[in-house]
Amino acid sequence: MARTRTTVPDLDAQVSPRRLMADTHALARWVRLSGSPAEHEAFRYIQRQMRRAGCATRLFTHDAFISLPGPAALTVVAGAGGGAVPCVTHSFAASTGPEGLETDAVFAGAGTPAELAAAGVAGRIAVVDGLASPDRIHAAGAAGAVGLVCLNRDRLVHEMIVSPVWGNPKPTDLERLPRLPVVSVAGEAAARLREAARAGGARLRLTAEVETGWRRTPILIADLPGSVEDTFVLFTGHVDSWHRGAMDNGTANATMMEVARVLAGVRRYRGVRFAFWSGHSHGRYSGSTWYADHAWQELHDRCVVNVNVDSVGARGSVINPHAWATPETRALANRVIRQVAGVRFEGSRVGRAGDHSFLGVGIPSMLMSLSEQPADSPDASADFTIRSGATGGLGWWWHTTDDLPDKIDPARLVRDCRVYLGIVHALATEPVLPLDYRAAAREWLAALRSLPRATDRHVALAPVVAEARRLVRATEALERRAAAVRRRPGRRAVRALNAAIMAMGRALLPAAQTRAGRFDHDPALEQRGVPLLEAARALANAEGDAAKHLAVAAQRDLNAVRWALRQAAEAAEAGARRRP
């Protein structure tokens, strides 16, 4: 391992578009269904490349609850636009059996609970606009629908996973698994079916087969050790794919391999652990969740940050300035992204998607879809643009048969790889962890101050707000201490600072990002703000017995928040006053 200091421009120059595209093409040879022989071949290819880069590797398998869509058919048997309609079913959707399902269909807008109720979908097949998703299926089932047809506006159907259960289900999760047969239709066929359902009198016949059960799926761990500190940066991405998955997730895997090749020649203060998962697309993040469960103690003790990569390098893509990042990581992401791409990065809250399975452990997490299509791009996904309005998503080919190497731009893939290289390099080589918890402290204070004043009638907010103010002061003192240590990085001082920084994450992140806490996983459903403040928000408009019940929940959740803020403040105060 080289002992000379390597600058970021020097590293950027080592990123090879030829190697990146060669690895992308190699992985796109296989349709990488979770647990399949073809996927295992892809894992072995990656393992060989990581070994050549100088990593120590472990390839093993584990039990995973996987769902693979089978054949599906949809026919308009009565009403306008009769005949067969091309469709696909989805992971974790219910099977109809060979006899299928035939009944009346009704259009229900975007499939919101109000629209489904107004359309009268009980006993019928609901036809809705949008991507197949757990919330749409849950709402349709709750309204009494017996089947669901989702209409995509893009030219090809997007493959989807419709279970809200994050990772392998435990017994109490089984009731959350979808019980409705679900298919999706795209393009002109979707437009015809939409009009037929709107016109009334449509009757559909639907058959769908989905194979759901336990399989053995692989995980590949590849390590580059550090030279000083026995901690590591976790750099993660999934290998399994829908169809050939050149962008999703071939380019991400190629990026991980290229970062390993470049960093192998750099003196690293701490290690880098590359983790390649299965079960992302067909097991709702079963691989990363299994690892979070089974390596929990090591992750808690040694992992400094989870950096996730997914679907990079697409033609026409631009850096997404609002990609996910927990608050303490955003300054680092902005520093690197501005250097590499000249874009100001702001970041946004990490959502319930991707392989961000380590927030409950208290590990800061950053990124996933770093680059996306502009909303006005000819390659933008119409389905994603309608949903978000601000971005064109990952392209109309995302999760389709057309996710092939011709959708990749080598120059943009190099750009995205350099961003990841710069971030992982900084995390691995800078003695003091480049994490700024002042941002997290300020977000906590703002979130607590934003609670409606009426909440104070039921629970006392002042003590929790006081803890947040204490945390802001403590993190400001810690950052002053960090700045001094960065100028003169004595080993004992660095160790004390890093211990404080890691302890803050372990305290704050489970409270900020989860309801399930440290040892379980929230469902893959949208969360609006801090889950532990939901009951306190709702109290403002509650009355009578409902307010009393909410007050019980709010008090318990605020106790958890106050405890987390205090633990983090004490860690920051200890780190700020330590001297070598």
pLDDT tier, 3 (very low <50, low <70, confident <90, very high otherwise): very low
The CATH number that applies at residue 167 is: 3.50.30.30
Q: Is 375 helix (H, G, I), strand (E, B) or coil?
A: coil
Q: Residue holding tokens 């690197």?
A: 336
- In a shared domain, residues 122 and 190: yes
Cα 233–chain centre separation: 17
pLDDT digits (tens, 9 = 90+) for 36-88: 999 999 999 999 999 999 999 999 999 999 999 999 999 999 877 678 999 99
Distances (CA, A) of 300 to 14, 137, 160, 239, 361: 33, 35, 32, 25, 6
**% pLDDT > 70, the chain:** 97
The pTM score is 0.95
Total structural domains in the chain? 3
Q: What is the mean pLDDT of the chain?
A: 95
458 in a structural domain: yes
- The candidate with the shortest Cα–Cα distance to 374, out of 391, 388, 358, is 391
**Which residue stretches of 56-209 are H helix?**
113-119, 134-142, 187-199
133 in a structural domain: yes
**Which residue stretches of 450-516 are H helix?**
462-487, 491-513
- In a shared domain, residues 374 and 424: yes
Range of the domain at 126: 67-212
- In a shared domain, residues 336 and 188: no
- In a shared domain, residues 204 and 122: yes
On the CB side of 419, how many CA atoms lie within 13 Å of its CA? 33
pLDDT tier, 4 (very low <50, low <70, confident <90, very high otherwise): very low
- In a shared domain, residues 60 and 77: no
1 in a structural domain: no
CB 256 within 8 A of CB 235: yes
Is the pLDDT confidence value at 405 over 70? Answer: yes
- In a shared domain, residues 120 and 171: yes
Instruction: Out of 174, 195, 212, pick the residue that ends a domain.
Output: 212
What is the model's pLDDT at position 391?
Answer: 83
Instruction: Out of 184, 212, 240, pick the residue that ends a domain.
Output: 212
The CATH number that applies at residue 392 is: 3.40.630.10
The residue-averaged pLDDT of 467-475 equals 98
343 in a structural domain: yes
Torsion of CA 70, 282, 407, 13, to 10 degrees: -160
pLDDT tier, 200 (very low <50, low <70, confident <90, very high otherwise): confident
2 in a structural domain: no
The residue-averaged pLDDT of 115-127 equals 97
80 in a structural domain: yes
- In a shared domain, residues 16 and 36: yes
- In a shared domain, residues 386 and 298: yes
- In a shared domain, residues 158 and 247: no
363 in a structural domain: yes
- In a shared domain, residues 562 and 461: yes
Instruction: Out of 429, 462, 486, pick the residue that ends a domain.
Output: 429
Structure tokens at 321: 């300035």
- In a shared domain, residues 562 and 550: yes
Is the pLDDT confidence value at 394 over 50? Answer: yes
Q: Look at strands 147-151 and 203-224 and give their pairing.
A: unpaired
pLDDT digits (tens, 9 = 90+) for 245-280: 999 999 999 999 999 999 999 999 999 999 999 999
406 in a structural domain: yes
pLDDT tier, 350 (very low <50, low <70, confident <90, very high otherwise): very high
Cα 386–chain centre separation: 20
What is the model's pLDDT at position 389?
Answer: 53
- In a shared domain, residues 391 and 463: no
